[in-house]
Amino acid sequence: MRRLAVEHLAVRHGLLHAVRDVSLHLDQGEVVALVGANGAGKTTLLRAIAGAHAPSGGRIWFDGADVTLIPSHRRVALGIALVPEGRRLFAQMSVEDNLRLARSAGRAGRWTLDSVMAAFPQLPPLRPMRAGTLSGGQQQAVAIARALLTNPEILLLDEVSLGLSPLAVDQLYASLQTLVATGTTIILVEQDLNRALGVADRVICMLEGRIVLEGPAAEMDRDRVMGAYFGVDRPTAERAP
């Protein structure tokens, strides 16, 4: 079943074209890794899908409905959740209050306060603590748990391992594997190529706002992705014979 379709999407930051003519689609239960260098437009693409950034052109379809003009808070109610880059927790509020806020989405489902506490074993002792006092790994767990509490159909994860210790990243990916096993549809932005290839069904590589490589993760090797990642295969005027 087709969950998400993006057609010829264009997003700008002022004069900068961050995303140009991007089309992609996701089926139910698919895990797609979105890779690319800094500034390739990955974060902007995810934010546009979540409704946090208005596109300048193109369409976004979710479960067969056109959601291009729907604001972010209503997209959450439809089942699109974003774990934003940098976690964006409410630092002055307790972990519990951060999590309870997600109930505003008004979506019931398998994720409740109790079930996320069970899924992220590091969370229960942190409940009364201020979110701003936690370590990066703990904050990331709270951010993912908060997004899950909206009971999304599709989860967008932006750079979830950024700035975490290797141990915290291992813990995080162990939690992600359980999510994948439950059939959650996921788009994952990840800098670590091996991790991305390990968890994803399909890989999409972006360069300067465009998709330059797309294919099943099993058929991708590191060199091919790296080539697309840095644009070395791209014919340019300078390198023309």
- Residue 77 CB, nearest approach to other proteins (Å): 5
Q: Pick the binder of other proteins from 71, 124, 198, 215 (CB under 8 A).
A: 71
Please give the structure tokens belonging to residue 162. Answer: 């950024």
Residue type, 94: S
- Residue 105 CB, nearest approach to other proteins (Å): 3
Q: How far apart are CA 87 and CA 72, in angstroms?
A: 17
- Residue 48 CB, nearest approach to other proteins (Å): 13
Interface segment toward other proteins; rule CB under 8 A; list 21-29, 59-67, 79-87, 120-128: 79-87
Interface segment toward other proteins; rule CB under 8 A; list 87-95, 119-127, 176-184, 209-217: 87-95
Q: How far apart are CA 214 and CA 31, in angstroms?
A: 13
Nearer to other proteins among residue 144 and residue 220 (C-beta): 144
Span 18-57, contacts to other proteins by CB under 8 A: 50-52
- Residue 93 CB, nearest approach to other proteins (Å): 6
Q: Pick the binder of other proteins from 7, 21, 97, 201 (CB under 8 A).
A: 97
Span 164-223, contacts to other proteins by CB under 8 A: none
Q: Establish if 13 lies at the interface with other proteins (CB under 8 A).
A: no
Go through 167-192 and write b for each residue having 16 or more CB atoms within 10 A of its CB, e for each that does not.
Answer: ebbebbbebbeebbeeebbbbbbbee
Q: Establish if 82 lies at the interface with other proteins (CB under 8 A).
A: yes
Q: Establish if 150 lies at the interface with other proteins (CB under 8 A).
A: yes
The answer to whether 216 touches 202, Cβ cutoff 8 Å, is yes
Phi-psi region of 189 (alpha: psi -120 to 50; beta: other; left: phi over 0): beta
Rounded (5°) CA angle 36-40-45: 100
Please give the structure tokens belonging to residue 141. Answer: 């767990």
Q: Establish if 130 lies at the interface with other proteins (CB under 8 A).
A: no
SS3 content of the chain, % helix, strand, coil (to 5): 35, 30, 35
Q: Establish if 92 lies at the interface with other proteins (CB under 8 A).
A: yes
The answer to whether 71 touches 34, Cβ cutoff 8 Å, is no
Contact set with other proteins (CB under 8 A)? 50-52, 71-74, 76-77, 81-82, 84, 88, 90-93, 97, 100-107, 146-147, 150
